[in-house]
Structure 1
Amino acid sequence: MTGTTAGRAAAGPDTSGVGVLDKTSQLLGALARGPASLRTLTEITGLTRPTVHRLAVALENLRLLTRDRQGRFVLGPRFAELAAEAARDRLLLGARPVLDELRDRTGASARLYRRQGDLRVCVSSAEAGPGRGRVFVGVAQPMKAGAAAQVLLAWEEPEVLHRALCGAGFGAATLAGVRRQGWAQSLAVGEAGVASLAAPVRGLGDRVVAAVTLDGPVATLTRTPALRFAGALTDAAVRLSEGLVR
């Protein structure tokens, strides 16, 4: 057995054999339980205070850690970004069959939107046919109106919501309703005579990563599409979500 192999064997299955990585893993494992002060992290990990401080500050610079209002360390936004990126291909690979079935079940166009900054981008689509309301994959639209925008914003942090609602065609009360009912609907947003219904697709940590929508003429979706189609849409959203967390 070589020295390297012997070192790895001695390290055990839960360690890498690289000291700084193992200490970082201990730190992140402790924070997976929830926010923690420097003192608490030192007690949980058994590492020295200078070591914990040095690692925590370095991870904070990489946005892998951040701090809450009490100054405690918490897992940072970079983890959510990495998780979303890892789920991106899985979501798109699983989307088309679900969207096709949703379109066939309802007679409306079924689409998947993802948020990119101040825009919502159509990343997959099953069109019901030519006509009004047609949106092609890759088309980006503002996050200021529409059912998909409401769903993509409703579960965001308060400071994000405050900025996003400036100039939007909906307010905080509307988004509170979206969170309560689990879907959003809109009528004649962007084009007269077109209705839309949207529900959240959730990834790891129950984070909203996309919005699945039904779009079509009022003659198909009616003026209150949720009354007839909310069940089918939320079923599709659950299927897409399950594909991300298995």
Structure 2
Amino acid sequence: MTNDTTPELKTSSGVGVLDKAAAILNRLESGPASLSQLVEATALARPTAHRLAVALVHHRLVSRDSQGRFALGPRIGELSSASGEDRLISAAGPILNNLRNVTGESSQVYRRQGDWRVCVASAERPIGLRDTIPVGTQLSMKAGSAAQILTAWEEHSRLLEGLRNARFTATMLAAVRRRGWAQSVGERERGTASVSAPVHGPTGKVIAAISISGPIERLTRQPGRLHAEVVCQAAAQLTDALRNAS
């Protein structure tokens, strides 16, 4: 008979089902696992491990990869991002201001919330034609360079879901992952262009996108050629700020 007592469960909270679910999540922290590997690592009975893992998939705390293995799900990253919201916003301010000053364009930080990307920090261009996106604005995850960034590093099943009816393609996202930045021209809104780069949290997961946006007349139809380097530098600075604050 398989013993449902694991090293993780010896410090019991008194709520058995939560302790067992935590044991599964603790195992997945080190990488994807098959059901057999979950059973071996947690010492849970196979039916118990399967029932809990499937329930965690339902709540998006766990996902399935292309090989059918269990892995940490996107909800984990969303909760992690939310817990670091204040650090992200406070660290973003001076970096966005500098990015705006260097490029002459409005700059923003976006974080994914469900099916939307939300502007959580911005620095507006003070004069002239600009792409105004106030903090709190919800935008589509189906178009725009920031949406490309927030989709490109998703786990496989959610990436496929993100591509459905999107203005960008799997080939485009593969290029985004390879070069480390994204651009869009008239993708979200006619006449506007943007460049975005990924911001990584302390664990290395992409938790936000930093962007500049403005009219095509200034950014041209190849905005990445003009501004990808400085946007990537800003993303690296924000990533370092979050890691140092953790």
- Using the size of structure 2 for normalisation, the TM-score is 0.76
Look up the SS of the partner of 2:99 in the other structure: helix
2:94 corresponds to 1:100: no
Residues of 2 paired with 1:120 and 1:42: CA distance? 37
Task: Figure out how many residues of one structure are paired with residues of the other and give that number.
Answer: 229
Residues of 1 paired with 2:19 and 2:116: CA distance? 39
Cα displacement string for residues 114-133 of structure 1 (whole angstroms, at most 9, x for unaligned residues): 22333222221101124342
Residues of 2 paired with 1:108 and 1:145: CA distance? 20
Whichever of the two has the greater Rg, that structure is: 1
Residues of 2 paired with 1:94 and 1:160: CA distance? 28
1:150 CA displacement: 1.6
Residues of 1 paired with 2:117 and 2:26: CA distance? 34
Kept in 2: contact 1:60–1:76 (CA 8 A): no
1:186 CA displacement: 1.9
1:30 is matched with: 27
Cα displacement string for residues 114-164 of structure 1 (whole angstroms, at most 9, x for unaligned residues): 223332222211011243422211222222322122212222233333333
The correspondence for 2:161, drawn from 141, 160, 163, is 163
Any unmatched runs of 5+ in structure 2? 1-9
- Using the size of structure 1 for normalisation, the TM-score is 0.76
Any unmatched runs of 5+ in structure 1? 1-14
2:123 corresponds to 1:126: yes
Q: Which residues in structure 2 correspond to 1:41-190 (within 5 Å)?
A: 41-44=38-41, 47=43, 49-50=44-45, 54=48, 57-58=51-52, 60-62=54-56, 63=59, 64-65=61-62, 68=65, 72-130=69-127, 131-189=129-187, 190=189
The correspondence for 1:240, drawn from 232, 238, 241, is 238
Task: Quote the RMSD (CA, aligned, Å).
Answer: 3.1
Residues of 2 paired with 1:237 and 1:40: CA distance? 37
Kept in 1: contact 2:110–2:117 (CA 8 A): yes
Residues of 1 paired with 2:34 and 2:175: CA distance? 36
1:225 is matched with: 223
